[in-house]
Amino acid sequence: MTRNKLVGNKPTPDLSKVKVLEGNAVSAYLQDESKLTGFAERVFIPCDENGMSSVLNHATEKKVPVTVSARRTGVVGGAVPEGGWILSLEGMDKVVGIGEDDNGFYIQVEPNATLRQIDDILRYGRYEGLEDLTPNAISRLKKEGRHFYPVDPTESNASLGANAACNSSGSRSYRYGPTRDWIRRLRAVLADGTVLDIQRGRVFAENGTFILDYDGEEVVDIPAYEFNSGVKNSAGIFSTEGMDAIDLFIGSEGILGAISLLELRLIPWRPVLSCMAFVPDDDAALMLIDHLKNLDHGPELIEFIDENGIRMIKGEREEGCLFSNMPEFPLFPAAAVMFDFQLDDSLEPMMEEIGSLLETLGSSLDNTWCAHEERERERFRSFRHAIPEAVFSYIASRKLHHPEMHKMGTDISVPDESSAEMMGYYRKMIAASGLRTVMFGHLGDNHPHLELLMEDMEDYEKADRLCHNLAEKAVSLGGCPSAEHGVGRLKRRYLEMMYDEVQIQDMKRLKRQFDRRGVLNSGVLLEAGR
C-alpha cells in the first residue's frame, strides 16, 4: 500500500436511530461562550458514528450546511450555526476503554467526552465499564499506578473532540505541548459520510499530496505553506512537508471532517508543587519569568497575573463575590507568577536560587504561596480561572447599559525572541488607548491574555482597534493572533493577517477536496462560499 493513501469506508446510511429536534427546541443550540447567536432549522443528535455519517451524507445530498456542535464552550463562535442543520454530538460522550502500545497507555473516547471525565477515571482508578483495547490493558495500568492526560485546557467541561478540532493547549502546554502531540489515533467522518480511521505514524504526505481512496482514488494537495509551529498556534490548517495525515484533522476546526473517536496518550503521574510568587510590579514578574524559563529543569507551567489583575482580585475579594476562599495576599500592590515544579530532589536548590532572585526583585520566598495537596493545588487553578470570570462579570454589568458590547480580549502568542518587544508594544498601545486592561495567562509560552475593561461603546471601538493592532504586530513578529481558541467565525479576519490570498485559496481547495458541496462547518475558519 502507498504510504500516503487514506482509505475510507462509507457505512450504509441509516437515520432511524438519529434524534431530530425542530422549532423552539433548536434555540438551546444557537450560542456558545462567545455569546454570538446564530440560527438553524434542525438539530440532529446521533448516538454513534453511523448516525453521524448518515446525517452528514444526508446533508451533502440535500446541499444543506451543517454545523458540528458539542458542549459549546468555545469563545470564537465555531459551534454557532449560520443556518442549515446542527449535528450535535451530545449522544456520543462515552469513555470507551484503555489500551497499551510501545509508547505506553492510551485512552479511547467518543468526541463529546470531557477532560473532567477522563481525569475522574484516571485520578480515582474508576475503570468499571471500560474496555480493554489491548489484552489486560486496564489491569496493567492499575499495576503501573496513576497516569494522566497532560494537556490541560482551562475549561475542563469542554469536549475532547472540540479540543482536538481546535488543537487546544492551556497552561501545561509550556511543558507538554498542545493537544496535537497527544493524539494517537482518530476517526473522522467526512461531509459525504465517508469514515477515515487514522493512526499516527501510518500515513504521510508524499510530494505534497495524499491519496484519498474511497469511491475511487483522488489526489489531495496539502497547502504549500509551512504551518507556523514555532509559537502556540490554533489558526489555519496544519501543513508541512511529509506531514502525518492525522494532523490534517487536528486544529482544522471540523471543516475537513467531524471527529467521531479519539485515542489520547497518557503518561505516569508525578507529584507536583504549585507555587505563586508575588513581586512588586509587572517588570519584576517578567524578570522572574525569564529566569524560570532559563532553568535547567524548568517548571511544568508559567502563568502571569499583572498588577491590574491582582488589584481586581483584591477588589472582588473585598466585595465577597469571588476569590473569598483565598487568604490575603502576602504582598500588595503586586504582580504574580504561578509555576509548578515536580517534587523531587532538584527542587530545594532551585527554590533557593529563585529565593535569591526574588530578593533582588524586592520580594522574597516569604511572599509566596505553595501547595502540594491536590485540593490546595486546585485552589490555585480556580484562582487563575476566576480572573476571566471576574472580567465576564464586569462586561456583563456594562452590557446592561450597552447591549451591543461583547467581551474583548486577545489570544496572541509570539516567539521567545520577540516576547520583550511585544510586551513593550502592549504597554505603548494600552497607554495610547487610555483603556483599562487586565493581563494574565501563559507567559511561559509568550501567550498572555489581555482583557479590555470597557465602559461604553466608545471604549468598545477603541478596544477593537487595539486588538487589531496588537494582532498585526504579533504577526509581523512571527506570532499568531489566535494561539489557542481557534478562528471560528469571529476571528476570520486574523486568518487574513497570517496567510496571503494564495495560501487561503490552498486551504479552500483542500476543503473542497474533502467536502465538494461545502456543507461541513461552512463559514468556520474560512469564509463560506468563496
Contact call for residues 88 and 44 (beta carbons, < 8 A):
yes
Question: Which residue lies nearer to other proteins by CB, 29 or 380?
Answer: 380
Q: Select the residue interacting with other proteins from 327, 403, 434, 529 (CB under 8 A).
A: 327
CA-based max dimension of the chain: 70
- Whose Cβ is closer to other proteins: residue 116's or residue 493's? 116
Please report whether residue 370 would count as binding other proteins according to CB under 8 A: yes
> What does 237-298 look like in DSSP terms, one character per residue?
----TT-BTHHHHSSSTTSS-EEEEEEEE-EE---EEEEEEEESSHHHHHHHHHHHHTSTT-
| 346 counts as binding other proteins under rule CB under 8 A | no
Rounded Cα–Cα distance for residues 210 and 18 (Å): 32
Q: Which of 266, 354, 475, 519 binds other proteins (CB under 8 A)?
A: 354
CB of 492 to other proteins, least distance (A): 40
Should residue 324 be labelled a site residue for other proteins when binding is judged by CB under 8 A?
Answer: yes
| Closer of 194 and 274 to other proteins (Cβ) | 274
Minimum distance, C-beta of residue 274 to other proteins, in the bound complex (Å): 10
Question: Based on CB atoms, which residue is closest to other proteins, 352 or 455?
Answer: 352
Residue from the set 174, 369, 425, 499 that interacts with other proteins by CB under 8 A:
369
Binding to other proteins, residues 41-70 (CB under 8 A): none
Does residue 375 bind other proteins (CB under 8 A)? yes
* Cβ 221 to other proteins shortest distance, Å: 49
Q: Which amino acid is at 357?
A: L
Q: How far is the CB of 244 from other proteins (least distance, A)?
A: 36
Query: Amino acid letter at 219?
Result: V
For residues 250 and 234, the answer to whether their CB atoms sit within 8 Å is: no
Q: Which is nearer to other proteins, 126 or 465 (CB)?
A: 126
Helix axes 419-433, 457-476, angle to 10 degrees: 160
Residue number with CB closer to other proteins (122 or 237): 122
**Looking at 22, 61, 344, 374, which residue binds other proteins (CB under 8 A)?**
374
- By CB under 8 A, how many residues form the interface with other proteins? 32
Judged by CB under 8 A, the chain residues 108 through 137 that form the site for other proteins are: 123-126
Which position has the grid cell 477593537?
A: 464
Phi, psi of 293, deg, nearest 5: -70, -25
Nearest approach in angstroms of CB 319 to other proteins is 16
Residue 348 as a binder of other proteins (CB under 8 A): the answer is yes
Which grid coordinates are listed for 128? 468499571
Residue 318 interacts with other proteins (CB under 8 A)? Answer: no
- Does residue 217 touch other proteins according to CB under 8 A? no
CB 119 within 8 A of CB 156: yes
Does position 143 bind other proteins by CB under 8 A?
no
Beta bridge partners of 292: none
User: Which of 441, 383, 434 lies closest to 414 in space, CA to CA?
Assistant: 441
Q: Say whether residue 368 binds other proteins (CB under 8 A).
A: yes
CA distances from 291 to 294, 410, 424 (A): 5, 25, 19
Q: Give me the 261-300 binding string for other proteins, x by CB under 8 A, dash otherwise.
A: ------------x-x-x-----------------------
The verdict on 373 binding other proteins (CB under 8 A) reads: yes
State in angstroms the smallest separation of the CB of 231 from other proteins: 31
325 part of the interface to other proteins, by CB under 8 A: yes
Instruction: Please report, for residues 157, 178, 186, 271, 379, the alpha-carbon distance to residue 129 in angstroms, rounded to integers and kept in the order given.
Output: 21, 29, 22, 28, 31
- Least separation in angstroms between CB 141 and other proteins: 13
- Which range, of 70-78, 160-168, 189-197, 360-368, touches other proteins by CB under 8 A? 360-368
HEC profile for 383-440? HHHHHHHHHHHHHHHHHCCCCCCCCCECECECCHHHHHHHHHHHHHHHHHHCCEEEEE
How many angstroms separate the CA atoms of 177 and 29, rounded?
31
Residue 227-266 contact track with other proteins, rule CB under 8 A, x = bound: ----------------------------------------
- Of the two residues 16 and 124, which places its CB atom closer to other proteins in the complex? 124
Q: Is residue 357 a contact point for other proteins (CB under 8 A)?
A: no
CA 225 to CA 214: how far, in whole Å? 27
Q: How many CB atoms lie within 10 A of CB 184?
A: 20
Contact present, 235 and 496 (Cβ < 8 Å): no
User: Phi, psi (5° rounding) for residue 94?
Assistant: -85, 145
Contact residues toward other proteins (CB under 8 A) are 123-126, 273, 275, 277, 324-327, 330, 348, 351-352, 354-355, 364-376, 378-379
